[in-house]
Amino acid sequence: MQHYYLELKEVDDFIPALAEHFGIGYKNELGEYALHVPKDLGKGKLNCINFPNGIGLYWFDCTFLRDTKIQIFHPNVTPLRLIYCVNGELSSHFNNQAETFSIKGHEHLIAAPRADEVHSLIFNANTKVDICYLEIDRKKFKHYLSFDIEELEPIYYKIFSDIQATNQVCDKGSYGFRTFDVIKQIKNCEEIKFPRINFMGAKSLEILSYMLTRFSKNQDQEQYKYLKRKDLKAIENAVEYIGNNLSTVGTVDEIAKEVNLNVNKLQEGFQAIYGQTVNSYIRDVRLTKALNLLSTGEKNVSEVVYELGLSSRSYFSKIFKKKYGISPSRIISNQANYVEHIENKTDKV
């Protein structure tokens, strides 16, 4: 097994330290660090960015040729890590403990080592992984809060107030599709420079908000406990299929056949995960895409209706106005002002 021991004085040292072990350079643009795994070790890319509020966003999209262990030790930081496995498998343990936790697709691990402990991340050889995790510097995060940390609910206070890292945290579970959607948005983000940094920061907070909800209510496990892993994967495939085939998406029965899942199970899954039927989900995806297309000013209403696979312009205008409070034709006539109005309106919903 290939070992890399990283003793990090600052959170921003992660990529530079790993690049030094790899014997390669790295890129830093507006605080986002990135490196490409050298060909003799594997392939893929690692990214990370740390924000002033103490939240860091890390992404592993790579394959290592050999079993690989990355050992992380922060002598000056007491991190809390929220690790999400999208694809592949990741194992984790503290120091040289015999107990190792492994997570696969749609599983997460909430992990916080004690102050003197090394946290090891283990990657299997020739296994492509997509791993996204938040690393929270609890001392910085405490100062980011607009209230005294003692006011936190007990369940959160126990985790976030442990600035001295006297307690170890290791909690494994499944995460929901809302979290999955945000992670996918991060991975597919095409923004660059300052807009990209702001987007990443906002999405990091969104992931954290879902974790807090899950931690307090155990919501994800309650919602998805009757859905098997293969069913979750089928629903994930259905979401991807809908997004890629909006103009020809077909009926719910056809979608179920496409992803090899019973229609009732598909509907139950969408209700549990998104709180709506498959058709309602398709409608919302279409309307979101319609807003994006109209706001560019490059397509008229008829062209948008055609691209979305709808047959009635009047029906489209009706559901668009019901959702956004403004007709699609008025979006075209004054894109910037109306899009801002819509964003403000939907933020309040």
266/277 Cα distance (integer angstroms): 9
Residue type, 65: L
282/183 Cα distance (integer angstroms): 20
Kindly state the DSSP code that residue 73 receives in the 8-state scheme.
E
**Extents of the domains making up the chain:** 2-220, 223-348
- Which pair of tokens denotes residue 119? 């946290």
* Beta strand 55-64 pairing with 79-87: unpaired
Number of Cβ within 10 Å of residue 11's Cβ equals 21
Q: Decide: 309 and 315 in contact? Cβ < 8 Å.
A: no
- CATH architecture, domain defined by 223-348: Orthogonal Bundle (1.10)
Distance set, CA 168 to CA 79, 112, 117, 119, 292 (Å): 11, 6, 9, 11, 45
Q: Decide: 156 and 150 in contact? Cβ < 8 Å.
A: no
Taking the model in full, what pTM does it have?
Answer: 0.71
Q: How many CA atoms lie within 13 A of 218 on its CB side?
A: 5
Number of Cβ within 10 Å of residue 326's Cβ equals 17
Q: Is 91 helix (H, G, I), strand (E, B) or coil?
A: strand
Q: What is the CATH superfamily name and number for domain 2-220?
A: Jelly Rolls (2.60.120.10)
285/81 Cα distance (integer angstroms): 32
Tens digit of each residue's pLDDT (9 = 90 or more) over 80-117: 999 999 999 999 999 867 688 999 988 899 999 999 89
Q: Decide: 276 and 323 in contact? Cβ < 8 Å.
A: no
23/39 Cα distance (integer angstroms): 12
Q: Is 191 helix (H, G, I), strand (E, B) or coil?
A: coil
Residue showing tokens 């990370």: 48
pLDDT in tens, the chain (349 residues): 999 999 999 999 999 999 999 999 999 999 999 999 999 999 999 999 999 999 999 999 999 999 999 999 999 998 999 999 999 999 999 986 768 899 998 889 999 999 989 999 999 999 999 999 999 999 999 999 989 988 888 888 888 999 999 888 888 888 877 888 899 899 989 889 999 999 999 999 999 998 888 776 554 444 555 567 788 888 888 998 998 999 899 899 999 999 999 998 898 888 877 778 999 999 989 988 888 888 777 788 999 999 898 888 999 999 998 888 888 888 776 654 544 445 555 544 3
Give phi and psi for 43, each to the nearest 5: -160, 160
